[in-house]
Amino acid sequence: EKGLTDATIGDYLNFFRYGCPPHGGLGAGPSRFIMKMLGIDNIREATYLYRGVKRLTP
């Protein structure tokens, strides 16, 4: 439907081959800091490149 093939997302699939990589899980990045500093309720409004389900490229 989106025109994706194994060749185009092969690196992504290999990244998760043996499970999810370790992560902190806190989401304490610069976007979260800016959101709190400016008093914004939604992180999508503070993020420069929002990664939503309809976005395919960075």
Domain ranges of the chain: 25-58
Q: Are 26 and 33 in contact (CB under 8 A)?
A: no
pTM of the model: 0.45
Residue 41 has what pLDDT? Answer: 93
**CA-based angle 38:39:43, to the nearest 5?**
90
Q: What are the tens digits of pLDDT across the range 9-46?
A: 888 888 888 888 777 667 778 888 999 999 999 888 88
Task: Classify residue 19 as left (phi > 0), alpha (psi -120 to 50) or beta.
Answer: left
